[in-house]
A and B are shown apart, each in its own frame.
Chain A
């Protein structure tokens, strides 16, 4: 009974929901990337590595330039570069896309840690200076609204960017010609090819887009939230974004709902000083929930028909 009271008290704390939205958008960016990539038929479990590369690039550039915007752009490009490797290996060389993804994740961990120790002579980067951090936007007047103000109008700028991208990607995939092409290539590449769509360019573009979005997420994490770089600092967030994407049935909106659930999990753990429960047990909940969802208890997730299959012109 006492526990229920504690939970209720926690649920009406604005800080809980503020962190939920922030963590949710952090996961949403790579999840959107995953949606685009997999809708075009390329399985992408490499968001983790692309995000980590972005995080490293952001902190490294922030240390040199002190400018958050240049750092963010370089981070986006770095994520994109990793995606190019995944795209070439899985589209041009028709490698197994899951193995390529695992390799990207190991490679990203290795190369960022290697360069980190090389550049800083094993000392690690300094914490990111406040002037080089991505700013929080306090929207005047609106942020004074009780409860909702801090949640929606006192957030990092990337939160707003992420919400905009959510709408944009949803619209792009389901309301534009480009979106139709991406989905066609992911469902039936042979038919799309026959209809004159260039399967390879759509797939290259989609995979690279996932890298750009993951790189942005890396920048958000490293110079917006933690403001420091540690080896392997993404700590599985890319994998969670992957789960959120499947949870959300390969749609942007659905993925966002799933990201918010994972975000709430993170947020409860971060704000649980009032709860009398082991934070490690609490941390298990989102993963158990995902398993339950995958077990089909909340409806079945069906991937795009050609997801994971390399395209060979003229086959079948």
Chain B
């Protein structure tokens, strides 16, 4: 085991002016994520180039299809920018919830690959309530749907926490198993099981009108040449923002948040400090599961209004891992990263359809971002170029991340609040 790294030293007062310190801290905070994204786009461009494509056309497609920029020229003038932005909001919504569901356990030193299964169970439970009590009025039914989805996700996450706390079963394997169990349970329900809509393959009935979250744009008219109904952005994104704020307050302003971070940094030290590690692990996974379960509930209430196979087959829970890592496990970072990956997912088909470059380029970019953040290539690169060095030598030592826990240790976002919590 490597000796634990000293937390980043706070600059001595009087040595440098505060704005400069803040600027440096900000630079360290966002430098690695932004550098990783740029690095991944460069690798992506190289891959497009050597396979005989045009990277500029491809990336124009990603910008146009994701955020509605540069939709000009022969290739992309048929795209409606506002519609692409609306779709990006739709995709970002579950990614924020699940990104938070991965990030919170990361803070406690746990790796939650199970956001997918937790989302699936949340969607199943939410849909079951929304269908069964379809006649209830909205002010009761909508909260009921969201709360039940949240609880189902929490239960699914809680299993992981209990197994980890009492038997030491590794959460990576238990979450993978629970993902499969949730997926097959969903398949069973929709393939001849009790929730299948009679005579229809692999979908359920619709939830009641009262269970539906309102869209931002309503009506029967047209907007930018498209019927308003196709702009599916819904108010679930506001719930996602609220949960992100909750995540921030929980981590930074509550005793539980302090315990989670303490357990994540050093379990033994946390135990000596009187923190029940088992209890903290279980509560962390309960809350994480709740976040992901709420994602399922919000998707049912805001987007699909019915249960489909997609709730087990899409890649939301895995994209969430990239979201959490790119977002440095912090609320604002996760929101930004969720929008980035949502934009890429929405833009992929546009790029494929119009520039003939496979949308799987998006997966490649996502993987390279993960590699880059995990391996911290950029930091290593900086060491090799001493002329570029900005920070004192000690701080540039290669990251020694023995576990996710220690990866957290070296995170630059921590030192700011070590003082007020210790």
Interface size on B, residues (CB 8 A): 59
A115 touches B172 (CB 8 A): no
Q: For residue B380, which residues in chain A have a CB less than 8 angstroms away from its CB? A: 93
Binary interface encoding of chain B residues 152-190 relative to chain A, with 1 for a CB under 8 A from any of its CBs, else 0: 000000010001000111101110111011001101100
In residues 371-410 of chain B, which contact A (Cβ within 8 Å)?
A: 371, 373-377, 380, 398-404, 407
Known A94-B401, A300-B167; contact A103-B361, beta-carbon cutoff 8 A? no
Stretch at the interface among B92-100, B212-220, B273-281, B362-370: B362-370
A291 touches B177 (CB 8 A): yes
B173 touches A89 (CB 8 A): no
Stretch at the interface among A135-143, A172-180, A198-206, A278-286: A278-286
A113→B363 CA distance, assembly (Å): 9
A96→B329 CA distance, assembly (Å): 15
Q: For residue A309, which residues in chain B have a CB less than 8 angstroms away from its CB? A: 1, 402-403
Q: For residue A110, which residues in chain B have a CB less than 8 angstroms away from its CB? A: 360-364, 366-367
Known A94-B399, A103-B374, A106-B318; contact A113-B358, beta-carbon cutoff 8 A? yes
Residue with the highest number of chain A CB atoms closer than 10 Å, among B178, B364, B371: B371
Q: For residue B318, which residues in chain A have a CB less than 8 angstroms away from its CB? A: 102, 106
| Chain A residue, CB-CB nearest to B325 | A99
A128 interface residue per 8 A CB criterion:
no
A152 interface residue per 8 A CB criterion:
no
In residues 277-309 of chain A, which contact B (Cβ within 8 Å)?
A: 278, 280-281, 283-284, 287-288, 290-291, 294-296, 300, 303, 308-309
A21 interface residue per 8 A CB criterion:
no
A115 touches B51 (CB 8 A): yes
Known A110-B367, A288-B181; contact A96-B172, beta-carbon cutoff 8 A? no
Stretch at the interface among A9-17, A61-69, A235-243: A235-243
A114 touches B187 (CB 8 A): no
Give the tally of cross-chain contacts (CB within 8 A). Answer: 171
A226 interface residue per 8 A CB criterion:
no
Q: For residue A167, which residues in chain B have a CB less than 8 angstroms away from its CB? A: none
A312 interface residue per 8 A CB criterion:
yes
A288→B47 CA distance, assembly (Å): 41
Q: A290-B177, A294-B173, A295-B167 are in contact. List 5 more A-B contacts (CB 8 A).
A: A103-B367, A118-B358, A239-B176, A287-B178, A315-B1
B-to-A contact residues, CB < 8 Å? 1-3, 47, 51-52, 111, 113, 159, 163, 167-170, 172-174, 176-178, 180-181, 184-185, 187-188, 191-193, 318, 321-322, 325, 352, 358, 360-364, 366-368, 370-371, 373-377, 380, 398-404, 407
24 A-B pairs, CB-CB below 8 angstroms? A94-B375, A96-B401, A96-B404, A102-B318, A106-B363, A113-B360, A114-B360, A114-B364, A117-B358, A242-B173, A287-B178, A288-B181, A291-B159, A291-B174, A291-B178, A294-B167, A294-B174, A295-B163, A296-B169, A300-B167, A315-B400, A316-B1, A316-B2, A316-B3
